[in-house]
Amino acid sequence: MAIIKKHLSEIHNGLGISSATLRNEEYRLYQNRLKLKLTQADLADIKQILELFKK
């Protein structure tokens, strides 16, 4: 996942990903959902995964 790779240094330092950053990333995915062929279930699963890295 490119999102996790993008914020890997923050995760490694124990900072996690901020709520605002997660919302922005989720918004970008939602905007591009048709191009990426993501379903609502896919978006929900991605959101759950990203929540694991939340600070």
| DSSP label of 37 | T
As a whole number of angstroms, the distance between CA 8 and CA 17 comes to 9
**What pTM value is reported for the model?**
0.75
- Report residue 42's pLDDT band, with 50, 70 and 90 as the boundaries: very high
- Report residue 14's pLDDT band, with 50, 70 and 90 as the boundaries: confident
What's the pLDDT at 3? 81
Q: Is pLDDT above 90 for 15?
A: no
| CA dihedral sign, ordered 9, 12, 18, 24 | positive
